[in-house]
Amino acid sequence: MPLPGEVVQYIGFSASIALRRAARQSTQEGRRTGLWPRPLGGEPETLLIDPYRPEPLVNFDDPQNHARMEQALEAVQAQLGKHYPLVIGGERRERKDQIRSYNPSMIDETVGTVSKAEPSDIDDAIAAGTEAFRAWSRAGGEFRARVLLKAAANLRREKFLFSALEVYEAGKTWPEADGDVAEAIDFMEYYARQMMRLSAPVETYNLPGEEDEAFYIPLGVGAIIPPWNFPLAILCGMTTGAIVAGNTVLLKPASPTPVIGAWFVRLLEESGMPPGVVNFVPGDGSRIGDYLVGHPEIRFVSFTGSREVGLHINQHAAGHADGQRWIKRVVAEMGGKDAIVVDETADLDAAAEGIVSAAFGFQGQKCSACSRAIVVDEVYDEVARRVAERTKRLTIGAAKNPANALGPVIDASAERKILGYIDQGKKSAQLLAGGGKAADGGHFIQPTVFSDVAPDSALGQEEIFGPVLAMIRARNFDHALEIANGTEYGLTGSLYSKRRDRLERARYEFHVGNLYFNRKCTGAVVGAHPFGGFNMSGTDSKTGSPDYLLLFMQMKAVAEKL
């Protein structure tokens, strides 16, 4: 879909000086979220949209919602096994080599197949992105924001279908799948509004006899490499944040969940995204990963995944290839070893509930998951007892069954890795709950709790990314805080305490990007909890924040002598 000619000129820096002055002099009133000059010669226009609000979660206890989800599961089941091609410059492209996506709850069930991109496809996709960038980058923030708002509305209408697909392809339970889809809607709604704000001219001071201005421009063609654990929300946030800022991208979805990525690209196309803005290039990381990251025409890389892969990408992108004219920008989120700290003044029931929810939601396959519960000695045994009791009551089985609190882990490799950590734990700590596989037919692992874990052990230091909780005994609050900060990660953390002095101390000394008091350490909400971590948890990108889009733009200053 070519961009209208007038839209290409619809950006502030191509408008007249008079319009730019008018934009500077305008103020935000009421529900106004952005100021936009009309195409050349027009008057400034105010765009009125509702204030941002997070998408409500679905109540599946409502019989009507329960029935809609059942219908969606049946509808998606009828589409299982379909094939999805590459999408480059809006054109579908088939490849003989394919990725088979399967249901981790039922490993013999194929969700779909997708074509694998080759290096030559990466070259073509970069060329398509470069061509699309010329018009898309100049289309204006309002136009790009409207595409996101349309996509959010379309996704809202298809919410149950996308949730059902996540149940099949990612093994998410109904509430986890719904939460993921809701967050994707939130990202698009929020980033659309932020782009409207950032499209207004930057406030500058005019020197005598000069017209001085500054404005944001996009970077170019980038690589989007999202994870499988939030296969729609994170993929959507990473992709739409980059494109609403005016960039074009190559989207390489995670191999366990590529069908969700294909559905999302289709959604964007149906919402008015022009060809070449998002190019869908699934494939093996070993085959195309380094080629994509190191390509001289890639301007930035946005990555979410493991520490090991993130560090490799950062190092590889830092190199200079022949023909490369820029220092590549890397935005990375690389996991965590997150802790919930409980002191002797805490509400122990609330703490135990928060620990279990944060440790085992989506089978512990969250970078924000509580993998360490650090409890002061005075209440340690009681908290451990309550955590173990709650864990043993959790039901596990096929994610399609709403009675199950936990579904499968994502694939055989994850299953082997997690069971390996459990075997280590049995040799070095006390097993309180779980400790092995839960059922046959899928990648099911019992939610597992170990007590008296050494802070410096593998269970206390390494990201397991599965349903394994290490309970660590601390002498007192000072010791608990020391243990909490004693890893190379710094993503999320939580403190349960009734003492204001300790909450205030933790506010500054508990060194994580997202800190919570008297609640669990998972469940960040777009616009409320800017998300991103310190240290080896990544570049602290702060998704869902007013600053996020700036990672994909650069400021240009222009001075004109009058």
- Average pLDDT of the segment spanning 47-62: 91
What is the spatial order of strands in the sheet that 98-103 belongs to? 82-84, 106-115, 98-103
- Please give the mean pLDDT across all residues of the chain: 92
Give the tokens for residue 434. 């779980």
> CA-CA distances (angstroms) from residue 115 to 221, 304, 383, 458?
22, 22, 49, 38
Residue 258 has pLDDT above 90, yes or no: yes
Residue 32 has pLDDT above 50, yes or no: no
Summarised one tens digit per residue, pLDDT across range 371-392 is 999 999 999 999 999 999 999 9
Residue 494 has pLDDT above 60, yes or no: yes
In the residue annotation, 367 being an active-site residue is answered as: yes
- Average pLDDT of the segment spanning 547-555: 98
Enumerate the β-bridge partners of residue 408: none
With cut-offs at 50, 70 and 90, classify the pLDDT of residue 11.
very low
Q: If you search the block for the tokens 């839960």, which residue do you land on?
A: 438
**In the prediction, which pLDDT does 48 show?**
62
Out of 269, 333, 415, 463, which one is annotated catalytic? 333
Out of 236, 367, 370, 521, which one is annotated catalytic? 367
Q: How many CB atoms lie within 10 A of CB 190?
A: 26
Q: Which domains does the chain have, with CATH numbers?
A: 63-334+541-561 (3.40.605.10), 338-525 (3.40.309.10)
Which residue, 216, 217, 286, 274, is CA-closest to 249? 274
Residue 316 has pLDDT above 80, yes or no: yes
**In the prediction, which pLDDT does 456 show?**
97
Distance of CA 457 to the CA centre of its chain: 29
In the residue annotation, 370 being an active-site residue is answered as: no
- Average pLDDT of the segment spanning 534-562: 97
**In the prediction, which pLDDT does 440 show?**
84
What is the SS3 string spanning 331-386? EEECCCCEEEEECCCCCHHHHHHHHHHHHHHHHHCCCCCEEEEEEEHHHHHHHHHH
**In the prediction, which pLDDT does 10 show?**
34
- Average pLDDT of the segment spanning 17-36: 35
